[in-house]
Chains A and B, each alone.
Chain A
């Protein structure tokens, strides 16, 4: 299994509070991604990173920010959580050495915003 961990695994928070989710990898891969998974919507890309301090927006980036100060860590922040951000969040990694640059996923974080 690829060395990807996510923390916390479960979180309940109130509307309007800031929340930070962490993704940590031990594979030294260059690319990291944040997705959200919701019934009826499948997987949607929020933000991704192609190197330390290099990030870009995905298809559903509004209300989210990211930071990557080290190769191994990719943080997703909800500045002011809303109920529409209740979801399961997955981190994924990819990089050189993988012939087809396939992605490997973490175990997910279930976030509930009340």
Chain B
């Protein structure tokens, strides 16, 4: 079946450090891949997405590349800020409209000054 695996953390980084959160997936066909972010007390927000192999999604300094050969979609940011402290969810959705989104367990990130 379809599934998403990601490092669970928590991850603690100093401000301006480089961030990588690993995400790998198992799916048949060609799913779309997403990263969502959840700030404390809020709902999930779509951070970035990629719909086919080798696509790079980017937003707010975050990037992730859809790697079909390694079934991965790792999230990266070159210089994190305190305001990036949140929980990050990797997710996939197969191509049809009625397929459900499969979420990973989430990775908690704390950035300290």
Interface residues on A, range: 20 to 34
Interface residues on B, range: 20 to 34
A11-40 contacts to B, CB under 8 A, are 30-31, 33
B72-102 contacts to A, CB under 8 A, are 89, 93, 97-101
Which residues on A sit within 8 Å (CB–CB) of B32?
100-102
Q: Mark A66-83, 1 if CB is under 8 A from B, else 0.
A: 000000000000000000
| Residue of B with least CB distance to A106 | B43
A43 within 8 A of partner (CB): yes
Are B105 and A42 in touch, CB under 8 angstroms?
A: yes
A58 within 8 A of partner (CB): yes
Are A43 and B89 in touch, CB under 8 angstroms?
A: yes
> Can you spell out 26 A-B residue pairs with CB atoms less than 8 angstroms apart?
A31-B97, A31-B98, A33-B100, A42-B89, A42-B103, A42-B104, A43-B44, A58-B100, A90-B44, A94-B97, A99-B51, A100-B34, A100-B51, A101-B97, A101-B99, A102-B46, A102-B49, A102-B93, A103-B101, A105-B36, A105-B44, A105-B45, A107-B42, A107-B43, A108-B42, A108-B43
| A-B contact sample (19 more), CB < 8 A, given A102-B32, A103-B101, A106-B43 | A31-B97, A42-B103, A42-B105, A43-B89, A45-B100, A58-B100, A99-B51, A100-B51, A100-B93, A101-B32, A101-B97, A102-B34, A102-B46, A102-B49, A103-B46, A104-B46, A105-B44, A107-B42, A108-B43
